[in-house]
Amino acid sequence: MTIMPTADATTELFARAVTRLTPVMPLLRELGEAFAERGHELALVGGPVRDAFLGRTSPDLDFTTDARPGATERILRGWGDAHWDMGRDFGTIGASRGDTRVEVTTYRADAYDGVTRKPVVAFGDSLEEDLSRRDFTINAMALRLPDLHFVDPHGGLVDLAARVLRTPSPPEVSFGDDPLRMMRAARFAAQLGVHVSAGTHEAMTAMAASIEKVSAERVREELTKLLLADTPAPGLELLVETGLAAYALPELPALRLEIDEHHRHKDVYAHSLTVLEQAIALEGAPSDPPEAVPGPDLWLRLAALLHDIGKPATRRFEPGGGVSFHHHEVVGAKLTAKRLRALRYDKETVKAVSRLVELHLRFHGYGEGQWTDSAVRRYVTDAGPLLPRLHRLTRADCTTRNHRKAARLARTYDALESRIADLQAKEELAAVRPDLDGNRIGEILGVPPGPVIGRAYRFLLGLRLDEGPLGEEEAERRLRAWWAEQPETSPS
């Protein structure tokens, strides 16, 4: 049952919201008066209004007006010192004055062509009509300016108080207009701690396949925002429950491996969500240095979520009832790269996240500390600048309920990090290089730049990792001995 806020409670909430908007109140009144003087309406709408009621400060200020783009542009020219109109076709004009940026959009009555999902813009004439086209009731609230008259035709404040997500129009119509709104519902579940109404959930489930009409770039942006929320798990769970993940991120629901009485093993899906939560807890503060992995960190969170996606493809039932997932980290790295490329993530993100997935099991070869210094050097060198994230991913991957085992793993990793720190202090492992550079290699061997130099460089790098610094004299001796054994220098 939804509990309606009383009149007194609504008044108090509104007062708090206005207080939250105090820093921008002069701007709101000034812009409202500027539009009113020219006979136009202006309202603060959507996220800023919702966040004010939640006691949050919104990073953006979104306005809507009955003025057409040309009229809006003329008004904003008189207000700001710069303006832009890249969104003119969709009714949006932007302007800035100093560090303050605003965007004003003409009332919309959008329609979609139903095939390509490209919006067909039709400008509207009333604020109420504009609000009815918005994604969810909690985003369909507005403050008319400059008098701060609260407009809430679809009960957004009631839904906000109940933490429920509903659409202003029937959800089938809303999601038919733009299927990406279903992804947005999952994002809000993560960001705002809301739950979708029964009808909204049913529509998302029935219409999940329509997300395929949406471009990969738009899906990626919503997924990224979801993952960067304080608590992504509720949003991810909603994607899986409704079937949206089967289209947007199919590797995630595939982790729900069946568990039977004969072949017991961890629920990989639940494990992955737990690893994600634990990785987030290990992130540094936003102002921390890079080595602390300041959060929210997209690479770490993607790697935590996807680190075991190679398990379904590598699962084997062993004699005696055991289950194995041999080389799932290698398979998982390839699947991660493939999925992230399909979602149009940038090359750097694809490379970094798939590398973390590939390396996430490497620590378990450390055993009780038997690694040689050479193995530790290779661990650091293979991770490169991803090492701080790998530390956190590896620690987060421990979800055992056996407290003794968890404590032992933590102590072992503490020991490894201590060894890494000692070697880094002695040898500058973060910038490990052979004792001879490419130019010097060419001089010693008498060969021009090319593949031979590359092979020689890799040979010396291997020596450096295995044995530590050799010194130039010893490195040159070992290089000449290596060169004497190469086919290029062998007698014919």
Q: Is the model's pLDDT at 273 over the cut of 60? A: yes
Q: Give the integer Cα–Cα distance in Å for 48 and 214.
A: 26
pLDDT for res 112: 57
50-108 tens-digit pLDDT? 999 998 887 778 999 999 999 999 999 989 889 898 888 889 999 988 888 899 999 98
Q: Tell me if 269 sits within 8 A of 305, measured CB to CB.
A: no
Closest CA to 222 of 180, 174, 166: 180
Among the residue ranges 204-218, 271-285, 430-444, the one predicted with the least confidence is 430-444
Among the residue ranges 103-107, 355-359, 379-383, 462-466, the one predicted with the least confidence is 462-466
Q: What integer best gives the mean pLDDT of the chain?
A: 89
pLDDT for res 245: 97
pLDDT band at 263 (very low <50, low <70, confident <90, very high): very low
Dihedral (Cα; 119, 121, 126, 128), 10-degree rounding: 0
pLDDT for res 336: 98
Q: Which whole number is the average pLDDT over 377-406?
A: 90
pLDDT for res 289: 93
- Position of tokens 């960067």? 228
In the numeric block, which tokens belong to residue 386? 């991803």
A 10 A CB-CB count for 442 gives 17
pLDDT for res 1: 38
Rama region for 451: left / alpha / beta (φ>0; ψ in -120 to 50; rest)? alpha
Q: Which whole number is the average pLDDT over 289-317?
A: 94
Q: Where are the domains of the chain?
A: 1-162, 281-431, 438-486
Q: Give the integer Cα–Cα distance in Å for 152 and 360.
A: 49
Q: Give 103's strand partners.
A: 62, 94
Q: Tell me if 121 sits within 8 A of 89, measured CB to CB.
A: yes
Q: Which whole number is the average pLDDT over 369-378?
A: 83
Dihedral (Cα; 263, 265, 269, 272), 10-degree rounding: -160
- β-strand 316-317 against 195-196: which pairing, if any? unpaired
What's the CATH number of domain 1-162, 3.30.460.10, 1.10.3470.10, 3.30.413.10, 3.40.50.300? 3.30.460.10
Q: Is the model's pLDDT at 3 over the cut of 60? A: no
pLDDT band at 462 (very low <50, low <70, confident <90, very high): confident
Q: Tell me if 72 sits within 8 A of 106, measured CB to CB.
A: yes
Q: Give the integer Cα–Cα distance in Å for 145 and 75.
A: 15
3-state secondary structure labels for all residues of the chain: CCCCCCHHHHHHHHHHHHHHCHHHHHHHHHHHHHHHHCCCCEEEECHHHHHHHCCCCCCCCEEEECCCHHHHHHHHHHHCCEEECCCHHHCEEEEEECCEEEEEEECECCEECCCCCCEECCECCCHHHHHHCCCCHHHCCEEEECCCEEECCCCHHHHHHHCEECCCCCHHHHHHHCCHHHHHHHHHHHHHCCEECHHHHHHHHHCHHHHHHCCHHHHHHHHHHHHCCCCCHHHHHHHHHHCCHHHHCCCCHHHCCCCCCCCCCCCHHHHHHHHHHHHHHCCECCCCCHHHCECCCHHHHHHHHHCCCCHHHHCEECCCCCEECCCHHHHHHHHHHHHHHHCCCCHHHHHHHHHHHHHCCHHHHHCCCCCCHHHHHHHHHHHHHHHHHHHHHHHHCCCCCCHHHHHHHHHHHHHHHHHHHHHHHHHCHHHCCCCCCHHHHHHHHCCCCCHHHHHHHHHHHHHHHHHCCCCHHHHHHHHHHHHHCCHHHCCC
407-448 tens-digit pLDDT? 888 898 998 999 888 887 776 655 667 888 889 999 999 989
pLDDT for res 434: 85
Q: Which whole number is the average pLDDT over 358-368?
A: 86
pLDDT for res 110: 60
